[in-house]
Each structure stands twice: as structure tokens, then as C-alpha cells.
């Protein structure tokens, strides 16, 4: 254990995420949902606050959610921060996290536009009216009202968008590094695993299975920004080399 090296930015990110998760438990015991203040609401929601695009990255919906994200941050983030340095790594992490939210908002805006004819529909809705329409359809069908309700009054939480950015960067920089994946008994090269993972997220996002509360397009947004950043930095020769 004494030989485990965690670079400073990854270490601080791990600590901050754990502190936020612990605070969520503490506030829940006082009947306060911290996600309502620090999770990211749709930009047109009455619950949106200017700090949420940053704070949502440090909130998580459950133990499994934070466990897998922090394990990936430690596993892949440590290698990337050691390679890039602290400043470039934190810039990459935050940009991919913001990109994840931006794509999620874009998809939500399109969904709202399809239903209401405008991506900024706060003037024709309220929390109580949407709740009524879910059971007594008038202007919107119950499914449409439920979609609007989820968008306007459901916060997005988690570091998954930034984590997907790290996964894509790792796959681009170390394509032939072999990884062990759960339920697969043999190691698989990163250049095969990560594209498959991205395609799965894309298919799940497009399919929109009922009851699926995962923001798949946020994952794709983080992956897309990660890909763009690595390509830009590579073209400018900001990396010394690309290992196999």
C-alpha cells in the first residue's frame, strides 16, 4: 500500500467527491435533499442555479454510483495526471464534465421543443400543472407531461461525464494496453473495449428505455469533448509520444 501513488489533483477530487457524498447523507437525515441545490437542473428550470454546472460533478446518486466513478478516476485519472501534469489534467476533467452537461441540455432542449414548440417552456408550465397533466391530460399527453416533469424538476448528478472523457483519452493514448473487464476472463486492449462502451451508451441513449434514469447523452458529451481535446493537443504536439 505504501507504493500506491495518487497524484494531487486525483487525490483532491477523490476527497471532494467523498465529502459531498457524506454531506448528502447528513442532510438527508435532516430531510434536506442536497441534490436539489447542487445537482444540475435544466437551464430553464426554476431550480437552476449558476453554480450547478460545477457542483453536479461532485454529487452522486448512491454508493454504487460513486464507487465505480471513483475507482475509474483513480485507475485512469492517476495515469493521465502523471502524464499531463496537474494543470492540464484538471482542465481536461472540468471541460469534459461541462461538455457532458452541455450535450445533455441540448438533448433536453430538443425534447422540450418537440413537445411545446419552444426549448424554453417555463412560461407555460408549473410543477403543479405538470403533476395534474400526468394524470389528467389536457394540452400534453401523460408521457409528454412526465418527460417535461423529469427535465424541469429532476437534477443530474455525478462525475460520469468527466469519467467518460478520461476513458476516451486513455484509450487514445494507450490503445494497446490490456485491461481486465468484469465478467470477461481475458484481458482486452483498450482500443477495443472503449469504442464498444461508447456505442452501448449511444444505443441506450437513443432507445430511452422506460425507467432508465441514466443520463447517457451526458456520458457521450464527456466522451466527445475528451476525444476533441486529445486530438487538438496531439495535433499541436503537446504530448511527447503515444505509447502502445
pLDDT tens per residue across span 95-139: 999 999 999 999 999 998 888 888 887 665 554 555 555 444 456
Question: Which domains are assigned to the chain?
Answer: 8-235 (1.20.1540.10)
Judge contact between 89 and 80, C-beta under 8 A. Answer: yes
Residues 25 and 33: their CA atoms lie apart, in Å, by 9
The Cα 209–Cα 19 span in angstroms is 32
Taking the model in full, what pTM does it have? 0.83
> Which residues fall within 8 angstroms of residue 105, CB to CB, at 6 or more apart?
42, 43
* pLDDT: which is higher, 13 or 1: 13
Which candidate, 2, 154, 5, places its Cα nearest to that of 75? 5
CA 113 – CA 121 distance, rounded (Å): 8
Amino acid at each position: 500500500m505504501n507504493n500506491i501513488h495518487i497524484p494531487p489533483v486525483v487525490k483532491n477530487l477523490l476527497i471532494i467527491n467523498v465529502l459531498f457524498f457524506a454531506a448528502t447523507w447528513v442532510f438527508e437525515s435532516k430531510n434536506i435533499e442536497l441534490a436539489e441545490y447542487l445537482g444540475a437542473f435544466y437551464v430553464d428550470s426554476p431550480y437552476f442555479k449558476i453554480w450547478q454546472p460545477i457542483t453536479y460533478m461532485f454529487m452522486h446518486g448512491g454508493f454504487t454510483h460513486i464507487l465505480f466513478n471513483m475507482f475509474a478516476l483513480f485507475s485512469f485519472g492517476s495515469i493521465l495526471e502523471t502524464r499531463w501534469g496537474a494543470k492540464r489534467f484538471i482542465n481536461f476533467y472540468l471541460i469534459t464534465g461541462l461538455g457532458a452537461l452541455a450535450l445533455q441540455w441540448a438533448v433536453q432542449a430538443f425534447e422540450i421543443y418537440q413537445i411545446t414548440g419552444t426549448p424554453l417552456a417555463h412560461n407555460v408550465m408549473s410543477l403543479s400543472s405538470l403533476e395534474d397533466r400526468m394524470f389528467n391530460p389536457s394540452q400534453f399527453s401523460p408521457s409528454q407531461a412526465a418527460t417535461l416533469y423529469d427535465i424541469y424538476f429532476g437534477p443530474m448528478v455525478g462525475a460520469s461525464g468527466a469519467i467518460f472523457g478520461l476513458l476516451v483519452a486513455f484509450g487514445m493514448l494507450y490503445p494497446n494496453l490490456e485491461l481486465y473487464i468484469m465478467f470477461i476472463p481475458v484481458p482486452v486492449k483498450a482500443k477495443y473495449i472503449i469504442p464498444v462502451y461508447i456505442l452501448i451508451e449511444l444505443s441506450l441513449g437513443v432507445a430511452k428505455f422506460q425507467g432508465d434514469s441514466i443520463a447517457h447523452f451526458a456520458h457521450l458529451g464527456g466522451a466527445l469533448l475528451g476525444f476533441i481535446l486529445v486530438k487538438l493537443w496531439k495535433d499541436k504536439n503537446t504530448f511527447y509520444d503515444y505509447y502502445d
